Amino acid sequence: MTIPTKKGKAYLIGAGPGDPGLITVRGKEILQKTEVLIYDYLAGDRLLDFVPDDAELIYAGKKGGVKHTHTQDEINQMLVERVRAGKIVVRLKGGDPFIFGRGGEELEELVKAGLDYEAVPGVTSASAAATFAGIPITHRNCTSSVAFITGHERPDKDETSIAWDKISTGVGTLVFYMGIKNLPSITANLIKHGRDPKTPVAVVRWASMPYQRSVVGTLETIADIVTKEGIKPPALTIVGDVVNYRQKLDWYEGRPLFGKRIVVTRTREQASELVSLLGENGAYCLEHATISIHPPDSWQEADAAIDSLADFDWLLFTSINAIHHFFKRLQKKGKDCRALHGVSIAAIGRVTADVLLEYGICADLIPESFTGEGLAAAMVREGVDGKKILIPRALKARKVLEETLAENGGKVIIAPVYQNVPPVYEGTVLREEIKNGDVDMVTFTSSSTVTNFVSMLNVSGNDELQAVLKDVKIAAIGPVTAKTVRKFGLSVDVQPEIYTIAAMVDSIVDYFKK
């Protein structure tokens, strides 16, 4: 038997209803140090981004309520085994783990095994569904009590554990989990036990998600409405007069871009501002990286340069990626920044210089204008004649810097430390989304997002491109970006007067209002 070096611990964490922003701060903190994650079918899988890359992921859920991948016994056993082996094991469950989540049973197993554990509550889907459908779950004017009820049990079965005679009239707001299939018998049963057939009812599907959908009726009508509208699980049923407040308080589904699916082509920090502003207006953002970073085809040049760093006079960094990948390779070869002593170092701009500081290096030169031309001019002013200059960078890049340095007598060595590759898989996913009519608009914040997007779609030419995008609207941040869009034979539907992300989002909102 191997003796674990550290004590394992289990954490039972509520993931919340689906929006990754609705997990607790404590829950997220623990996710970030998880070694083993045992998770259920979650409304959104973006929480998995918080988990370290090397964590073991075990999917324990059921999809659509039928097929169990693991029995409850197997889940309990996996949990206990991993904790005994000294691991930080997280059991992540949708909503709150103690509300129809079998959280209690799993903790009992840990107690039985004498293991250390902690439980973290989550936002239960009833609370989220009510809030996001604009229904105050209690309200002084109409109800002062709420019940959470499983709709999984058939009300007409002989041994129901639900006191229908009492809850029908004894509780103000009733929320049924897992009750879509049984909705006709649930509503009939409530009416039979004395609840007014005209009581308003809301059914909320995918609460808190950008594709949330709600329908409203009464105890008499809701079952038919749900069938007619094709509402399927996961959904919650809220019964009670509080549902009427939705008419006034529907803040979420009532937002201007609600239901619109908008592609955001990701490039660095711009994307997050765009996603957050579009999201606040209700849009469902489909984020696609149009570039993925791969190692260069060969490390030969970089390795040779790293082996002879002392021979260089200058080391030039023209991008953040170049810095990260150069230092990664340096470390891989058992060296660190001390190997750069005696070499002068230049950064193309402020941001690049700041990243160099993280590696303990203060740049000797930052040009006034943060471009390849700017850096070349500043270097020439320093004097490059006869100097040996190393430029670690992407495999494909603009040549202006190296050419200017060479023209002025510099001996330039280019060492590719990474390459940009169009992400083929993302492109395929995106084309599928477009084909299914799941994309209303694509946004471009620079010319390179346009060209990268087009190469990602992997089309044979402009004709095919236009055919693929014929039902998709296009937003461009400014005239230069718009010109690049038109170069591909596409037309621009939205272009703000001021070239900022905020103005672009305002223009998109106006466009869809019309």
CB nearer ligand SAH, residue 229 or residue 301: 229
Q: In this structure, which amino acid lies at residue 39? A: Y
Phi, then psi, of 181 in degrees rounded to 5:
-65, -40
Question: Which residues fall within 8 angstroms of residue 475, CB to CB, at 6 or more apart?
Answer: 441, 442, 443, 444, 492, 493, 494, 495, 504, 507, 508, 511
Per CB under 6 A, contacts with ligand SAH among 26-65 are 43
Nearest C-alpha neighbor of 231 from the set 192, 201, 190: 201
Q: Which of 60, 236, 391, 412 binds ligand SAH (CB under 6 A)?
A: 236
CB nearer ligand SAH, residue 152 or residue 350: 152
CB nearer ligand SAH, residue 78 or residue 178: 178
Q: Which of 13, 36, 167, 207 binds ligand SAH (CB under 6 A)?
A: 207
CB nearer ligand SAH, residue 208 or residue 507: 208
Buried (b) or exposed (e) across 337-374, using 16+ Cβ within 10 A? eeebeebbbbbbbeebbebbeeeebebebbbeebebeb
Per CB under 6 A, contacts with ligand SAH among 250-309 are none
**Least distance (Å) from ligand SAH to the CB of residue 105?**
13
Residue number with the shortest CB distance to ligand SAH?
95
Indicate the DSSP class of residue 245: G
Residue 125 sits in the site that holds ligand SAH (CB under 6 A): yes
Q: How far apart are CA 70 and CA 9, in angstroms?
A: 21
- Tell the burial category of 194 from Cβ atoms under 10 Å away from its Cβ (0-12, 13-18, 19+): exposed
Q: How far apart are CA 167 and CA 162, in angstroms?
A: 8
Candidates 227-235, 299-307, 308-316, 465-473; binding stretch for ligand SAH (CB under 6 A): 227-235
Question: Which residues fall within 8 angstroms of residue 297, CB to CB, at 6 or more apart?
Answer: 395, 416, 419
Angle ∠(474,479,481) on CA atoms, nearest 5: 55
**Least distance (Å) from ligand SAH to the CB of residue 124?**
3
Nearest C-alpha neighbor of 344 from the set 398, 390, 385, 278: 390
Q: Which of 10, 120, 204, 439 binds ligand SAH (CB under 6 A)?
A: 204
Cα–Cα distances in angstroms (integers) from residue 219 to residues 214, 224, 269, 323, 473, in the given order: 15, 10, 49, 63, 41
How many CA atoms lie less than 13 Å away from 296 in the CB half-sphere? Answer: 22
Candidates 229-237, 261-269, 292-300, 414-422; binding stretch for ligand SAH (CB under 6 A): 229-237
Question: Which residues fall within 8 angstroms of residue 320, CB to CB, at 6 or more apart?
Answer: 351, 352, 355
**Least distance (Å) from ligand SAH to the CB of residue 151?**
7
CB nearer ligand SAH, residue 243 or residue 394: 243
**Least distance (Å) from ligand SAH to the CB of residue 446?**
35
CB nearer ligand SAH, residue 118 or residue 358: 118
CB nearer ligand SAH, residue 177 or residue 453: 177
CB nearer ligand SAH, residue 183 or residue 263: 183
**Least distance (Å) from ligand SAH to the CB of residue 282?**
17
Residue 129 sits in the site that holds ligand SAH (CB under 6 A): yes
DSSP code string of 364-376: SB--SS-SHHHHH
Candidates 123-131, 286-294, 322-330, 454-462; binding stretch for ligand SAH (CB under 6 A): 123-131
**Least distance (Å) from ligand SAH to the CB of residue 155?**
16
Candidates 48-56, 121-129, 300-308, 470-478; binding stretch for ligand SAH (CB under 6 A): 121-129
Residue 206 sits in the site that holds ligand SAH (CB under 6 A): yes
Per CB under 6 A, contacts with ligand SAH among 76-115 are 93-96, 99-101
Q: Which of 30, 47, 80, 124 binds ligand SAH (CB under 6 A)?
A: 124
CB nearer ligand SAH, residue 178 or residue 439: 178
DSSP E strands, 246-396? 261-266, 284-289, 292-294, 314-317, 344-347, 388-394
**Least distance (Å) from ligand SAH to the CB of residue 122?**
6
DSSP code string of 425-448: HHHHHHHHHHHTT--SEEEESSHH
Residue 202 sits in the site that holds ligand SAH (CB under 6 A): no
Assigned token pair, 166: 């009492």
**Least distance (Å) from ligand SAH to the CB of residue 176?**
7
Q: Which of 13, 78, 135, 235 binds ligand SAH (CB under 6 A)?
A: 235
Q: Which of 11, 12, 13, 17 binds ligand SAH (CB under 6 A)?
A: 17
Per CB under 6 A, contacts with ligand SAH among 149-188 are 177-178
Residues classed as catalytic: 40, 62, 178
Q: How far apart are CA 279 and CA 259, in angstroms?
A: 11
**Least distance (Å) from ligand SAH to the CB of residue 233?**
5
Residue 444 sits in the site that holds ligand SAH (CB under 6 A): no
Cis peptide bond upstream of 234, omega within 30: yes
How many residues does this entry show for the chain? 514
Q: In this structure, which amino acid lies at residue 439? A: V
Q: Which residues form the interface with ligand SAH (CB under 6 A)?
A: 17-18, 43, 93-96, 99-101, 124-125, 129, 177-178, 204-208, 233-236
